[in-house]
């Protein structure tokens, strides 16, 4: 089964939402194969459909004055942050061609990053009742997805060289008493992002049984 992987570089969050909508419509119509969008966003905070706004600890105006946007979205989950140095992925998959099982889909996505972390000598794992990938008490990969007629959108955010100070403005994913981490923090050095992207693509292909085709590749910095 083919999957097109589009590496898009730095993309404004609103533009990323529109691109997802376009790809979802095309996938529902059978006009494109399964697709994975890989990109970075400028500083932005997003709230899932059931997010508690109290988990955004500062005002949207305060954030705007510092160059960060705020969006409410239709994905699952609470509030999270996206920014440079983070690999954001939006899989546009038709689960009728895989398994009509959202739990299976999320577990498969988590497996991608458990394996990718292991490539760097890091033992990451799942946490019962909390989607994503964790190293101890700290989240390495956040996940929040949306499903429409079994076609997926939204997806994951993998902290590679992310400036973790931006998470101080929120209760990440609405989980009190838990933290966030990054590859750079765990390893004590900056990570080459292109190589981390390669690891993600490789394990994504394995987890879902894809033959990957790079489509309209750009540069993920």
Token pair recorded at residue 117: 């972390």
How far apart CA 35 and CA 151 sit, in angstroms, is 11
How far apart CA 193 and CA 221 sit, in angstroms, is 6
Which residue of the set 173, 186, 196, 200 is catalytic?
A: 173
The sign of the dihedral angle between the CA atoms of 65, 67, 73, 78 is negative
Helix, strand, or coil here: 193? Answer: helix
How far apart CA 139 and CA 49 sit, in angstroms, is 20
Query: Is-catalytic flag, 3?
Result: no
Q: Which residues are catalytic?
A: 173
């Amino acid at each position: 089964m083919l999957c097109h992987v589009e590496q898009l570089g730095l993309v404004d969050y609103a533009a990323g939402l529109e691109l997802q909508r376009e790809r979802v419509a095309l996938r529902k119509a059978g006009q494109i194969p399964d697709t994975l969008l890989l990109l970075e966003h400028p500083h932005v905070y997003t709230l899932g459909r059931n997010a508690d706004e109290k988990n955004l600890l500062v005002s949207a105006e305060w954030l705007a004055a510092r160059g960060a946007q705020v969006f409410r979205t239709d994905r699952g989950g609470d509030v999270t942050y996206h920014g440079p140095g983070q690999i954001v992925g939006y899989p546009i998959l038709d689960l009728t061609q895989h398994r009509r099982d959202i739990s299976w889909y999320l577990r498969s996505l988590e497996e991608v990053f458990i394996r990718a972390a292991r490539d760097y000598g890091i033992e990451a794992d799942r946490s019962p009742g909390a989607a994503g990938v964790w190293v101890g008490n700290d989240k390495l990969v956040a996940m929040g997805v949306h499903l429409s007629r079994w076609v997926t959108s939204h997806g994951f955010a993998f902290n590679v060289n992310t400036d973790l100070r931006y998470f101080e403005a929120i209760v990440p994913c609405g989980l009190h008493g838990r933290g966030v981490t990054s590859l750079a923090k765990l390893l004590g050095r900056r990570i080459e992002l292109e190589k981390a992207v390669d690891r993600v693509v490789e394990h994504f292909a394995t987890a879902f049984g894809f033959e990957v085709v790079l489509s309209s590749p750009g540069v993920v910095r």
